[in-house]
Amino acid sequence: MIFKKWLERAGKLTKRLNTKKITSRLLIISAIITVFNLGSGIFIYVQNLSVGSSVKDAEQLSKVERNYQNISNKLLNGMLLLVDVIENGDSDLEAIMKDLQSLPPKIDDLEKQLIEMDKKYPPKTDNGAKYANQVGVIRLAYDNLMKTNTDVSGLSAEERSLRIGSLISVYTVILSFSNDIMNERLTADTGTTQNNLNSDVSSANIIVLVNVILLAVLPAIMIFGVTQSIKTGLLGITRRIRAYASNDFTSHEKLVRTDEFGQIDEALAEMGDNLRETIKATLQVSESVLLVSRNMDTMIGSNRQASEDVKGQVDLGREVLLSQYDDASSISAVTEEISASSQQIAASSEYINNDMRQMKISSQDGSKQMAGVVVMVNETVDQFSKLTEAFETMNDRYNNVSKFLNGIQDLNTQTNLLSLNASIESARAGEHGRGFAVVAEEIRKLSSQTDSISKQITKELTLIQSDVALSSKTIGSFSNVIHSTRQASETASGTFQTLESQSSVLSDQMSEISTAINEITAGIAHIVTAVDKLLTTSSDVNGKMEHMSELSVKQNDISDELRTLAEKLTHSSQDLKEKASVFTV
């Protein structure tokens, strides 16, 4: 029934899709399948959660049952061991009691688990036994075991049997009843959990099966509908294309659709209308071209006669221009020679004037640079003076150090004398002065080392002092050279200043000469320019005459070509008209 409803909905959805575009249909189909998969996945996920919850409940019941059986078995085992102790007087009582004392934490954990079980699986009736109530029974049995008197000394066999019977009756009455209740509840709740699990698994299997069937049928139905729509659209477009291929542009059959095929058919119909109008216009143009080509032949004959008349007049004008061009060439040759001489003189004077200007600039630069050199030389002299003073100060300090070393050597000599006197006094003291002798010997050694080091320092200072004196002497010689350089720099600076003033005077004189020559050159150049313009004008006119003559010849050739083209155009127009008449418009 559900499957039938789904098929009906799929059929309605397919009809709705037929009114959409092909791309829209495909997108809608993809969206429907995606949503359906998502919904099925959610249902399956929820069902799996339910199955997982049922499995978890079953595991919890199994765990509670194991914990209860474990505690019950330990109580039973403890009771049997106590029976053995009472009966045989076994001495392993301490281990038995220690094992029983480990049960209270486990009983507490079991109580928490049973309380949770009562919440999840409450009794079906108000008077029904609860899981948590069985913990009290277990604690009662545990307390009885812990309170059992195991001291059997002085008891008869009958009294031992009575004590053992009392102990066994406690387990039989209390624990066996509790075990029966727990087994009954656990069996019932386990069955309920298993039934829920089976129901959830069956529901999940049904949902998966329905999902598989719908995923197989629904896309197939939708794709079949889209395929049929595409096939119908292609058939309609193919009919129009075949009509156009057979030169028939009069078809008015339209494909009534709102999708891409309808748009393509509409575009093809519009293209056919445009081609039909184009073919009609082509027939009209071919007739017009045929008429024009027939009129061109008469006009081409008239144009050829006019071109021959123009050519005769051009030849006459060219002879007159050649005579005028020869006279202007003679005048131009003379003026060009004068202009060339004037230009050469002007160029020479300009070259000399540029050299004088460059000399003036170089003199100014040399003067500035020599002024800078003088300043630098003066600074160098000052620095060498300071350096000489520093060497003199260094020499004085070396003398002071030498005095200090002499004082150290005097102290070493006195220290040696003191150590010698100390050695003599220690020798006189005998055994009591032996330690003092050792100290005196060490002092004498240190004094000897100090004397050696001071002599080496004195030697090195002497060498350094000689090097400083030599450097001071060299610096003094270099200072003299610097003084000579400063005098030469000052002399060169004065020479550059004199050269600058003389260059300025010569440059002014050459500028006046250059100005006069430029005025003469300008006048001659004006004459040359006028003659050149005359020659250029004559040459241009002559060239234009020749060009006009060539144009006349070309005009005749073009007239012949136009006549040939007119004949070809006539034939082409006739062919175009014949070919265009093939189409049905």
- The pLDDT tens digits for 414-462 are 777 777 777 777 777 767 666 767 776 777 777 777 777 777 777 776 7
* Interior angle at CA 517, CA 515 and CA 520, nearest 5: 115
Percent of the chain topping pLDDT 90: 0
Tokens of 25: 């249909």
Candidates 461, 478, 473; CA nearest to 396 is 461
Task: Give me the pLDDT at residue 232, please.
Answer: 75
Percent of the chain topping pLDDT 70: 56
Q: Are 583 and 249 contacting, i.e. CB atoms less than 8 angstroms apart?
A: yes
pTM above 0.75, yes or no: no
Task: Give me the pLDDT at residue 379, please.
Answer: 74
- Give the pLDDT confidence of 305-351 residue by residue, as tens digits: 655 665 666 566 566 556 655 655 655 565 566 566 556 656 665 76
- Give the pLDDT confidence of 348-370 residue by residue, as tens digits: 657 666 766 776 676 667 667 66
Residue 197 and residue 52: Cα distance in Å, rounded?
A: 9
Torsion over CA: 325, 328, 334, 338 (sign): negative
Q: How many CB atoms lie within 10 A of CB 98?
A: 9
Tokens of 54: 């049922």
Task: Give me the pLDDT at residue 191, please.
Answer: 81
Give yes or no for residue 70 having a pLDDT over 80.
yes
Ranges 20-29, 47-56, 145-154, 254-263, most confident: 47-56
Q: Report the topology of domain 272-576.
A: Helix Hairpins (1.10.287)
Task: Give me the pLDDT at residue 391, please.
Answer: 64
Per-residue pLDDT band for 116 (boundaries 50, 70, 90) equals confident
Task: Give me the pLDDT at residue 43, please.
Answer: 75
Task: Give me the pLDDT at residue 562, please.
Answer: 64
Average pLDDT over residues 197-212: 79
Give yes or no for residue 410 having a pLDDT over 80.
no
Per-residue pLDDT band for 203 (boundaries 50, 70, 90) equals confident
Q: How many CB atoms lie within 10 A of CB 498?
A: 11
Please write down the HEC assignment for all residues of 2-49. Answer: HHHHHHHHHHHHHHHHCCCCHHHHHHHHHHHHHHHHHHHHHHHHHHHH
Give yes or no for residue 110 having a pLDDT over 60.
yes
Candidates 138, 152, 76; CA nearest to 107 is 138
Tokens of 468: 């400083």
Task: Give me the pLDDT at residue 487, please.
Answer: 72
Average pLDDT over residues 216-228: 74
Q: In Å, what is the CA distance from 551 to each residue of 34, 296, 313, 555?
A: 81, 20, 13, 6
Q: Are 549 and 318 contacting, i.e. CB atoms less than 8 angstroms apart?
A: yes
- Give the pLDDT confidence of 228-240 residue by residue, as tens digits: 777 777 777 777 7
Task: Give me the pLDDT at residue 2, please.
Answer: 52
Task: Give me the pLDDT at residue 177, please.
Answer: 73
DSSP lists the bridge partners of residue 248 as 584
Residue matched to tokens 């995606």: 34
Give Cα 182 to chain centroid, integer Å.
69
Candidates 338, 348, 362, 335; CA nearest to 513 is 348
Contacts of 296 (CB under 8 A, 6+ apart): 562, 563, 566, 569
* Interior angle at CA 321, CA 318 and CA 326, nearest 5: 130
Give yes or no for residue 71 having a pLDDT over 80.
yes
Residue 494 and residue 504: Cα distance in Å, rounded?
A: 16
Average pLDDT over residues 85-111: 80
* Interior angle at CA 82, CA 76 and CA 85, nearest 5: 150
Give yes or no for residue 267 having a pLDDT over 80.
no
Give yes or no for residue 195 having a pLDDT over 80.
yes
Task: Give me the pLDDT at residue 102, please.
Answer: 86
Give yes or no for residue 4 having a pLDDT over 70.
no
Task: Give me the pLDDT at residue 555, please.
Answer: 61
Coil, strand or helix at 585? coil
Average pLDDT over residues 124-134: 74
Q: Answer with the residue of higher pLDDT: 293 or 380.
A: 380
- Give the pLDDT confidence of 518-574 residue by residue, as tens digits: 665 666 566 567 556 656 765 665 666 566 567 656 766 766 776 677 677 667 767
Candidates 232, 300, 218, 264; CA nearest to 11 is 218
Radius of gyration of the CA atoms of the chain, in A:
68
Give yes or no for residue 277 having a pLDDT over 60.
yes
Burial (CB < 10 A; 0-12, 13-18, 19+), residue 103, is buried
Coil, strand or helix at 583? coil
Domain spans of the chain?
A: 2-240, 272-576
Residue 288 φ/ψ, nearest 5 degrees: -65, -40
Task: Give me the pLDDT at residue 62, please.
Answer: 84
* Interior angle at CA 455, CA 453 and CA 457, nearest 5: 70
- The DSSP line for 361-393 is HHHHHHHHHHHHHHHHHHHHHHHHHHHHHHHHH
Per-residue pLDDT band for 132 (boundaries 50, 70, 90) equals confident
* Interior angle at CA 458, CA 454 and CA 461, nearest 5: 135
